[in-house]
Amino acid sequence: MRALHAQYLIDPLTRSPLSLTSLTTDGPHVDFGLLVAGQNWYPIIHGIPRILINELKVGMLQRYYRLFEKYRLELPDFVQAEWEKSVAGIHDLNAFLKHQEETAASFAYEWKYIYQENNFEKENFFHFLSPFVKPINLEGKMTLDIGCGSGRFTKWAALSGTTLSFGTDLGESVEVAYALTKEIANVCIVQADIYAMPFEHRFDLAYSIGVLHHLPEPEVGFSKLPPVLKSGGEMVIWVYNRRNNARALYFYEPLRTLLKKLPKPVLFKLCYVPGGIVHGINLFGRWLASIGFPKLEAKLPFAYYRHFPFNMKLNDAFDVLATPKSNYYYVEEVRDWFSRSGLRAIDAYEHPEAGITCIGTYGA
């Protein structure tokens, strides 16, 4: 992270500002450092603030055992004490470190071979925000991407002229997001939990695309988000639509139940089957359009994907089948989330390909 971005972060436990201590740097970035509020502290690791609490923080401190061991003598006493207490819970250190190396290798495979950028990311980003947000609406704004994954949408928000774009995710995908956006000066990637966000009254626009419906309790997660907005700021989400979505409910979901425990490399290879089916239907539609029937092409299943490359269809098939849980909603339910969270000027749009975009405004 760049040092000037620390001013926007708060301690999720006390809601107090965080002070920055930089231990190592990588060009303009703090590579390893601390964010401190009283006795509460959060590390910056590999350029990414890791603002996690409770058992999530313990797991993170254990995961980066070697890094903390390397710098332990440079850490304040209270930081050393908490780290040592966390790693004391590791029963077999050698086995733990071996498992961590294997996990890292699996993660590297997933992001190197599965999630690859393509030339349609910007179009895809604004499609999910449509019809409410266009590129011009982001100029000069401060934005938050909640559940940023690989950072592709955080990147396109920033390149659309924002003053600053934050991306947050709970998972290790923040490593990929940071690598993708590292050279973009108006981006900051943070590892954080949707239930304990390290922001308060900061953003003109916060959005969450394809994330909330994977939570165990989606509305509870959503209810934590509006306070990140400044008064007059807007919240936009995209979630799965239950209406007219029999394909997902009665095909994808049973298939996910059967396949979700497979190793990711195996599951990814299996995704060539649904990805290939979608691509084949798109090619058939393209042929129909070429002989004078473009309206028929637009009515075929998966017509939304007809202009996208095969890799994107493959990635989406993997996303659908690899996530452990998905929930589907009627637009009326999603509107109610916004209303119960105190948002106003609520509007929603049901996309033809079975998604819902909903927008609301925070404060007076």
Same domain as 290, residue 275: yes
Whether 253 maps to a domain, the answer reads: yes
Residue 314 inside a domain? The answer is yes
Total number of domains constituting the chain: 3
The answer to whether the Cα torsion of 295, 301, 305, 309 is positive or negative is: negative
Give the whole-angstrom CA distance, residue 149 versus residue 127. Answer: 17
Long-range contacts of 135-142 (CB under 8 A, 24+ apart): 135/160, 135/161, 137/205, 138/162, 138/205, 141/204, 141/205, 142/166, 142/202, 142/203, 142/204, 142/205
Do 125 and 229 lie in a common domain?
yes
Domain that holds residue 165: 121-240+332-361
Write down which residue in 114, 149, 166 finishes a domain: 114
| 90 assigned to some structural domain | yes
Across the beta sheet with 187-192, the strand order is 19-26, 29-37, 40-45, 48-51, 187-192, 164-169, 142-146, 203-209, 229-240, 355-361, 344-351
pLDDT at residue 112, rounded to an integer:
59
Domain assignment present for residue 327? The answer is no
- When mean pLDDT is compared across 129-133, 316-320, 337-341, the lowest value belongs to 316-320
In the predicted model, what is the mean pLDDT of the chain? 90
What are the DSSP calls for 295-363, one per residue?
Answer: HHHHHSTTGGGTTS-HHHHHHHHHHHHHSS----B-HHHHHHHHHHTT-EEEEEEEETTTEEEEEEE--
Q: Is 166 helix (H, G, I), strand (E, B) or coil?
A: strand
In this structure, are 50 and 154 located in the same domain? no
Per-residue pLDDT tens for 261-294? 788 788 888 889 989 999 999 999 999 999 999 8
Q: What is the SS3 assignment for 16?
A: coil
pLDDT, tens digit, 9 for 90 and up, residues 329-360: 999 999 999 999 999 999 999 998 789 999 99
If one compares 324 and 137, the residue with the highest pLDDT of the two is 137
Which helix (H) or strand (E) covers residue 290, if one does?
helix 272-290
Residue 313: pLDDT above 80?
Answer: yes
Residues 217 and 345 in one domain: yes
**Residue 104 pLDDT class (50, 70, 90 cuts):** low
Tell me the pLDDT tens digit for each residue of 32-53: 999 999 999 999 999 999 999 9
N-term to C-term CA, the chain: 33
pLDDT tens digits along 230-243: 999 999 999 999 98
Q: Name the pLDDT band for 245 (thresholds 50, 70, 90).
A: confident
Residues 236 and 262 in one domain: no
pLDDT given for residue 107 in this prediction: 53
At residue 102, the pLDDT reads 61
Examine the domain organization and report whether 46 and 30 are in the same domain.
yes
> Do 174 and 66 share a structural domain?
no
More confident residue, 102 or 133: 133
Residue 63 lies in a domain: yes
Same domain, 213 and 264: no
The two three-digit tokens of residue 349, written as one number: 């749009």
Final residue of a structural domain among 62, 84, 114: 114
pLDDT > 90? residue 318: no
Q: Does residue 6 surpass a pLDDT of 60?
A: yes
Asked if residue 193 is part of any domain, the answer here is yes
> Mind listing the pLDDT tens digit for each residue in 155-194?
999 999 999 999 999 988 899 899 999 999 999 999 999 9
Q: Both 208 and 271 in a single domain?
A: no
In this structure, the answer to whether residues 225 and 82 fall within a common structural domain is no
pTM: 0.88
Let me know whether 234 and 251 are in one domain. no
Boundary residue ending a domain (89, 114, 139): 114
State both tokens at 232: 């007059």
Indicate whether 210 and 341 sit together in one domain: yes
- Greatest Cα pair distance, the chain, in angstroms, is 74
- Does residue 34 sit in helix, strand or coil? strand
